[in-house]
Structure 1
Amino acid sequence: MEATLPAVAEELLKEIKKAFQETSHVSDDLLLALKFVFGSSAVAALDLVDQHSVTRIVSPSGRAVYQVLGSSGKLYTCYASCHFCTCPAFAFSVLRKNDSLVCKHILAMYLSQATGACQELSVSDQQLASILLAEEEEEGPGTVC
């Protein structure tokens, strides 16, 4: 079962996708709504999208994860199915303090999907497993959805 964002966030992302498909841009009203719902993560996420920092990695088995090249130059792995990111900001602001819905990397993932700015990389199942294991070894034991 996939986790869902609050209804207002889900609806806003759908509206952004629809607007972009129809006009190839996002209106100022939608950008303001994005800032209102997601706070300071919105501007940083839009910057990551502009830089084409999001890559969807898929394997023949149908498994997929996203990697986002953060502003620090570090790659973070995002899991769309449960809105989880391996970055420290996610652990602190989303999980610990509960003052953000998502981190900028997850929001960039959703926005890049909506605007078609998401790069795609096909890898073998073994390569995907290696990517996930490398992330796990780097971060230490933790929860992966």
Structure 2
Amino acid sequence: MDATLPAVGEELLREIEKVFQETSRVPDDLLSALKFIFGASAVPALDLADHQSVTRIVSPSGRTVYQVLGSSGKLYTCYASCHFCSCPAFAFSVLRKGDSLLCKHLLAIYLSRALGTCHELTVSNKQLTRLLLMDESFSLS
């Protein structure tokens, strides 16, 4: 994990990754725990991970960002290192109301890494800078 989630969330994601690597499935008890800890974001995040909607973008400088293709078809830029997403739900539910740990896009990043569905893309430092300075709709993939 890049940044610190609550310990119980980190442990659950590690367990999901371990079990999935061993069995190629996520048991119901872990899915229930995921929904209990992450609430309404869990099912949509699993759907995004299942549809391989997450791309990890890395530059030679070591900087990493993620792009998540949302269920609406909009592309969101996310920073797992500081738990930030450019989606409106993150701004409202996580930052403003504080009733969610993560939005579905950030949770999809963690799940896609655990399930091995995250795409990897290496770009130049200049390309990453363009991505970060441009509108969110700018896509490298």
Report the TM range for the smaller structure's normalisation. Answer: over 0.9
TM-score by length of 2: 0.93
**Counterpart for residue 73 of structure 1:** 73
Question: 2: distance between equivalents of 1:78 and 1:10?
Answer: 18
Secondary structure (helix, strand or coil) at the match of 1:33 reads helix
Question: Partner amino acid for 1:134?
Answer: M
* CA RMSD across the alignment: 1.6
Question: Partner amino acid for 1:57?
Answer: I
Does the alignment pair 1:32 with 2:32?
yes
TM-score by length of 1: 0.90
Question: 1: distance between equivalents of 2:23 and 2:7?
Answer: 24
Q: CA deviation at 1:62?
A: 1.2
Question: 2: distance between equivalents of 1:11 and 1:99?
Answer: 21
**Counterpart for residue 116 of structure 2:** 116
**Counterpart for residue 43 of structure 2:** 43
Does the alignment pair 1:90 with 2:90?
yes
Q: CA deviation at 1:135?
A: 3.8
Question: 2: distance between equivalents of 1:32 and 1:3?
Answer: 24
Question: 2: distance between equivalents of 1:6 and 1:135?
Answer: 31
Q: Deviating runs (4+, > 6 A) in structure 1?
A: none
% identical aligned pairs: 76
**Counterpart for residue 6 of structure 1:** 6
Question: 1: distance between equivalents of 2:34 and 2:135?
Answer: 30
Question: 2: distance between equivalents of 1:135 and 1:100?
Answer: 26
Secondary structure (helix, strand or coil) at the match of 2:131 reads helix
- Note the residue ranges of structure 2 that are not aligned, 5 or more in a row: none
Aligned length: 137
Q: CA deviation at 1:21?
A: 1.1
- Note the residue ranges of structure 1 that are not aligned, 5 or more in a row: 139-145
Question: 1: distance between equivalents of 2:31 and 2:97?
Answer: 25
Question: 2: distance between equivalents of 1:40 and 1:120?
Answer: 27
Question: Does the CA contact (< 8 Å) of 1:49 and 1:117 recur in 2?
Answer: yes
Question: Partner amino acid for 1:56?
Answer: R
Question: 2: distance between equivalents of 1:3 and 1:50?
Answer: 23
